[in-house]
Structure 1
Amino acid sequence: MFEALVRGLLGPLSGLLDFILDNPLLISGILAVWLGIFAAGKLQLQNIERKTVEMVLEISPSLITAKPHITSRGLYKRIYPRWETSLRQWGWFIPHRMDLWPVPITPETVRQKFSFSHQWVAEVLAQNGIQVEG
C-alpha cells in the first residue's frame, strides 16, 4: 500500500523507484559517498572555526597592546583580511547552509554556517578573559 502511494506521488518518475529497488547496492554506495563528503565538510567547518578562534586569540593581544582602546569592530576589521586569505588553506569545501551538498570555501559560505563578525570576536575574547570596548 505504501509503495502504491509513493508510485502515485512520483507519477511518471515511478520508474525511478523500480531502479532504486532493483539496485540497492548501487544506491547504498551513492549514499555512503554522500555521507562521507558530508562528514568531511563538517570536519572542515569545525577545523575552520577552531583555527579562527586560534587566529583571533593570537592576533588580538598585540593589537590591543598597540591600541588599548580598540573596539571589537576595530579588531574585526584588522583580523578579517588575514582570516579571508587563510580560509583557502584550511579546507576545500563545507556543507551548504541546508546541509545537502558541499560548497567551496569562501568567506560568504563560511559566514552562513557560523557568524564571524565583530560580536563573535568580542564573545571569543570574553570567553578567554580578554575585555575589549564595544
Structure 2
Amino acid sequence: MASLASLVTRFVDSERGAANILPLESVTAQAVAAVSFYAGFAELTNLDDGGEIGEGVDITVSEWAEIRPLFVLYVERETALQMEATRGLGADVFGRSSSEIGGDITQLEADMPRRVFFHPVITV
C-alpha cells in the first residue's frame, strides 16, 4: 500500500522521466481524477467515510492496478493538450492527438463499472 503522492512521484521520476513535460501538480491532479472516477464504482479500501480523495489517500496494489491505466491515459491526454496548445507557437507536435486519447479514455471509463464493481453475495 502506498500514498497516491508516492505513486505519482514514482511515475514521474522512474517510469516517465524526461518524457514527462507536465509539472508534478498536473500529474497529481490527473491521479486524483482517476482515483475519483474509480471510487464511483468501487469502495477504496483505505478511505474513511466522508474522507476526501487527495494525494494523501492510501491506495492498495490491486486498486492501483485498476486505476493506473486510466491515470496514464489522463496524463497522456493532458500532455497532448499541452503540446497542441504550442502548435500556434510553431512547435512540432508529436504523439497521439488528444481526441485519439479521448476515445481510449471513453472506452476505458465505460468498461470501469464492469471491471471494478463488487458486491458480496449473501445467501439466506
The normalised TM-score by structure 2 is: 0.29
